[in-house]
Amino acid sequence: MTRENLMDLSVKHKTDKWGAHHYAKHYERHLAHFRDKKVVMLEIGIGGYADPFGGGASLRVWSDWFTHSETVIVGVDIHEKRMKFDDPRVRVHRGSQIDIAFLEELHDLYGDFDIVLDDGSHLPEHVITTFKFLYPRTRDGGIYIVEDTQTSYWEGGRASRASYYNPENPTISFFKSLPDWINYAEVPLPSDPSFYDLHTVGAHFYHNLIVIDKDRNVEKSNLVPSRVGREVVDYMKPLIAVPLRHGVPRMGLLAHVGGVGDVRNEDIPSVVTDGRHPRFIQGIRLLCGLDDEKKVEYRVRLQSGDWTEWVCGNRYAGTRGKNESLSGFSVRLAGDWVGKYDLLMIGSFQSLDGLILRHEGSDCITEEGGKKIAGMQILFLPSATSAPSGY
């Protein structure tokens, strides 16, 4: 059976993404590989302005187009929206795209997004503020989209001033840096690469539309002795390399690293930095299946010395964007995992030779307690198995 494409669905649901604009054909190209996968999509701007039952056309398009039963489609609007969707995967929240506290709560609720689509106010200052917050919270391998960039050319970014050219052209001027981010390896500068350098691999400019490919950008120059290889660390390597064991939980780790952003290791619960300022861990989220999330709990120690509350799997613990690194962490088992597995916590800390090793439920911190975490790893072992020699 032939499946409807995005152009047909846009016409069916009367969204301006096809007709008034020609976005749908570009989305068909860039989002096709997500269609049957489990994704979390955030669309800013539901439409219909202040009408609580107006808008929602594009959310219905995504509802029809994405097929995976566990996909989540999140719509955000500054106005209250009361429309009902037949698809329980569609979630609606009220809030401003420049309200950082609101965006933080949204991210805490859904985690990193696979697709972010900014169809909100279109005011350049809003577009840039939203991008700076949400791009680091877009998953590597994901897509970030900015619609209606024509407002960048208008004075004040408003349609009422569409006849007045804005020479500063703020939105487009900001995103003109994209080629430099992508090609930073070719610039032999002594400075560290930025987060945007390290996490941008592609950019596509269309009429009134920008599509950005987010992923780890560590491709080296074939000629220039660039910053790649000298400054960029492999965040995915373990602190202690041990073979994967059968019969133990498969779990990953998301860590927010200062000066870098969210680093996601879905293979094992380990993230390691070079321990140089500001690259210390500021918060963590253990990544596990929904059936396992209540079987592991963890908390983190802030730089102030205060411990957070215990949270279960897939929940975030710590801070982001506050320049406050963690100084310790603790993990414990719950439910039917208690007694079934042994758990070993491994920590690498600022200016400390060697590693700190602790068992389940104890605190993985340095003796003086004030050192920042540069790397961490969690090992799950069958309870009948003793720790490998050398531990």
- Span 241-255, average pLDDT: 82
Q: Which of 65-79, 85-99, 267-281 has the lowest mean pLDDT?
A: 267-281
For the cut 80, the answer to whether the pLDDT of residue 72 exceeds it is: yes
Q: Which of 121-130, 220-229, 306-315 has the lowest mean pLDDT?
A: 220-229
Question: What is the per-residue pLDDT across 7-45, written as a single tens digit (0 to 9) for each?
Answer: 999 999 999 898 888 899 999 999 999 999 999 999 999
Residue with more model confidence, 303 or 245: 303
Alpha carbon distances (Å) from 108 to 46, 99, 237: 21, 14, 26
For the cut 70, the answer to whether the pLDDT of residue 225 exceeds it is: no
359 is catalytic: no
Beta bridge partners of 385: none
Question: Cβ atoms within 10 A of the Cβ of 106, count?
Answer: 20
Out of 163-167, 324-328, 367-371, give the one with best mean pLDDT. 324-328
- Contact predicate 303/326, CB 8 Å: yes
Structural domains in the chain, sorted by start: 6-214 (3.40.50.150), 252-382 (no CATH)
CA angle at residue 160 from 159 to 162, to 5 degrees?
55
From the candidates 13, 122, 126, 256, which is the catalytic residue?
A: 122
Work out the pLDDT band at 221, boundaries 50, 70, 90. Answer: confident
Structure tokens at 70: 């566990």
pLDDT (0 to 100) of residue 387:
42
For the cut 90, the answer to whether the pLDDT of residue 160 exceeds it is: no
- Please tell me the distance from the alpha carbon of residue 308 to that of residue 118, in angstroms, as a whole number: 33
Structure tokens at 177: 């840096």
For the cut 70, the answer to whether the pLDDT of residue 230 exceeds it is: no
Residue with more model confidence, 371 or 229: 371
Alpha carbon distances (Å) from 133 to 110, 265, 276, 321: 15, 21, 23, 9
Q: Between β-strands 209-214 and 270-272, what pairing exists: parallel, antiparallel or unpaired?
A: unpaired
Can you give the chain as a three-state secondary structure string? CCCCCHHHHHHHCCCCCECCCECHHHHHHHHHHHCCCCCEEEEECCCCCCCCCCCCHHHHHHHHHCCCCCCEEEEEECCCCCCCCCCCCEEEEECCCCCHHHHHHHHHHHCCEEEEEECCCCCHHHHHHHHHHHHHHEEEEEEEEEECHHHHHEHHHCHHHCCCECCCCHHHHHHCCHHHHHCHHHCCCCCCCCHHHHCEEEEEEECCEEEEEECCCCCCCCCCCCCCCCCCCCCCCCCCCCCCCCCCCCCEEEEEECCCEEEEECCCCEEECCCCCCCCEEEEEEECCCCCHHHEEEEEEECCCCECCCEECCCCEECCCCCCCEEEEEEEECHHHCCCEEEEEEEEECCCCCCEEEECCCCECCCCCCCCEEEEEEEEEECCCCCCCCC
pLDDT (0 to 100) of residue 223:
78
Q: Across all residues in the chain, what is the average pLDDT? A: 89
Question: What is the per-residue pLDDT across 319-358, written as a single tens digit (0 to 9) for each?
Answer: 987 789 999 999 999 999 998 999 999 999 998 888 999 9
- Span 247-276, average pLDDT: 86
Q: Which of 218-232, 278-292, 305-319, 352-366 has the lowest mean pLDDT?
A: 218-232
CA 375 to chain centre: 19
pLDDT (0 to 100) of residue 133:
94
- Span 78-87, average pLDDT: 94
CA 322 to chain centre: 17
- Span 233-255, average pLDDT: 80
Indicate the Cα dihedral angle 214, 133, 164, 208, nearest 10°.
30
**What percent of the chain has pLDDT above 70?**
93
For the cut 80, the answer to whether the pLDDT of residue 105 exceeds it is: yes
Work out the pLDDT band at 228, boundaries 50, 70, 90. Answer: low
Work out the pLDDT band at 262, boundaries 50, 70, 90. Answer: confident
Alpha carbon distances (Å) from 201 to 86, 140, 150, 214, 322: 36, 10, 24, 6, 27
Residue with more model confidence, 275 or 46: 46
List phi, psi (to 5°) of 165. Answer: -75, 135
- Span 301-309, average pLDDT: 95
- Contact predicate 42/76, CB 8 Å: yes
Q: Between β-strands 40-44 and 72-77, what pairing exists: parallel, antiparallel or unpaired?
A: parallel
Work out the pLDDT band at 247, boundaries 50, 70, 90. Answer: confident
